[in-house]
């Protein structure tokens, strides 16, 4: 089963299918689930995400700092990257084709990083 997303639709972190490393899901102070405990090299995978149109931008609701490399399907090269500083995006690039994808987030240079949600635009 696919999650078909329009542009700007929110991907909640509880939709992560696989987590590796120290990363885990936990409730936030407002009751939502967030990805937390993130260390360098950790990964979160979201499967069966489908876009009806190409996506050219990614945005993340987060706290803390770090770099997030975004890989589609079985790519060896990242399709995008986001740099966060104290919860604010300081750099972002992404290119994704329409269709069904597996999205892998790989975390680096993390400092108290917590992920609340993803948006592809």
Average pLDDT of each block of 10 consecutive residues along the chain (121 residues)? Answer: 61 94 94 96 93 88 97 94 96 92 96 95 85
- Of all residues in the chain, what percent are helix, strand and coil, respectively (each to 5)? 0, 65, 35
Residue partners of 85: CB distance under 8 A and separation at least 6: 65
Domains of the chain: 3-120 (2.60.120.260)
Tell me what pLDDT residue 46 has: 93
Tell me what pLDDT residue 51 has: 83
Q: Which helix (H) or strand (E) holds 7?
A: none
Residue partners of 96: CB distance under 8 A and separation at least 6: 51, 54, 55, 56, 72, 79, 80, 120
Q: Which residue has the tokens 């104290």?
A: 86
């Amino acid at each position: 089963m696919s999650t078909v997303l329009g542009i700007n639709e929110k991907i909640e972190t509880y939709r992560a299918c696989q987590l590796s490393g120290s990363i885990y899901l936990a409730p936030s102070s407002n009751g939502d689930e967030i990805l937390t405990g993130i260390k360098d090299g950790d990964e979160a995978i979201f499967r069966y995400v489908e876009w009806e149109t190409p996506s050219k931008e990614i945005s993340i609701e987060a706290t803390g700092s770090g770099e997030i490399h975004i890989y589609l399907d079985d790519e060896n090269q990242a399709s995008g990257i986001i740099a966060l500083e104290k919860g604010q995006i300081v750099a972002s690039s992404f290119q994704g084709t329409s269709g069904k994808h597996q999205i892998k987030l790989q975390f680096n240079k993390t400092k108290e990083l917590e992920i609340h949600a993803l948006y592809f635009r």
